[in-house]
Amino acid sequence: MSFHCAAYYSDISATQSDGELDALQDQILTISNNRFLFRENRRLLWGCAIGSTVYNASISAPSFSNITTPYLSYGIEQSDNPTNLPAVEDWTMSPFSLAAREELSFRTSGTAGGVNEDNYGLLGIEFNPVPAPRTSYYCLRGTSVTPAVANSWTELSVTWQNQLPAGRYAVVGGNAVSVGGVGFRFIIQDQLPRPGGLCSTQFTNQNWKGFSNGYLGNWGEFESFVMPGVEILNETTTADHTFYMTIAKIG
């Protein structure tokens, strides 16, 4: 299913209670009052809150008040960056509905005092659900030495391991390994949403199963002569990144 990876970020007091994070500048989504504003009805597939002392995280929109404020019960990473087997709120079996023309906020609470800390909220927003092809999957490796801009989506120059045979390919998963990494996403030509997920900070870390082998469906399609671009969200200016893009040849 085609989806977009969006992020919130704030450098906040470690003792905040239900403090609101700011929507990060995004080339695809509209931002209003530091919140994402959806022009059409959308649905959430997954979510994650990241921060070294975060113990509560929730999303909020005006229409939610008819029932209750939805808290993330599983998707809280109490760390500076995604860890091995990161905690992710999985809504794929029953995607969470978002109403058009409403602002969506992301809130977190922290426990420690004394210093501010980086808090992040990442969401996978469904656009058009497309099932993953049932065929052989190949994992393509790429590298980049482009410095990241801290706490902002940065488009990187990527060298892929080899040239693909002529044809059309579907992206069905991915991962990014970067010290200080938080999130990544692919830029696919002629496609609006930029799908992606959480980064891994070490090669030995395992990522959430949802970012691999078609779990989230078909992320997007490209021709062999127009490779997808890559963006990264990093808490530092690291200039050493490795990407893995799982693909299937479909034409």
DSSP 59-106: EE-GGGGGT-PPB-SS-EE-SSS--SS---EE-TTSPEEE-TT-EEEE
- Residues 75-87 pLDDT 10s: 999 999 999 999 9
Q: Name 185's bridge partners.
A: 196, 231
CATH code: domain 2-128 is: 2.60.120
Report how far residue 186's alpha carbon sits from residue 124's, in angstroms, rounded to the nearest whole number.
13
Q: Does 178 have pLDDT greater than 80?
A: yes
Nearest in space to 91 (alpha carbons), one of 110, 77, 73: 73
Tokens of 126: 């469904």
Average pLDDT over residues 201-223: 97
Average pLDDT over residues 117-121: 95
Tokens of 55: 């113990």
What percent of the chain is modeled with pLDDT above 90? 89
- Residues 38-74 pLDDT 10s: 999 999 999 999 999 999 999 999 998 888 889 999 9
Q: Does 14 have pLDDT greater than 80?
A: no
| 223 burial type by CB count under 10 A (0-12 exposed, 13-18 middle, 19+ buried) | middle
Domain ranges of the chain: 2-128, 138-249
Q: Does 15 have pLDDT greater than 80?
A: no
The model's confidence at residue 115, banded by pLDDT at 50, 70 and 90, is: confident
183 residue type, one letter: G
Phi, psi of 6 (to 5 degrees): -120, 155
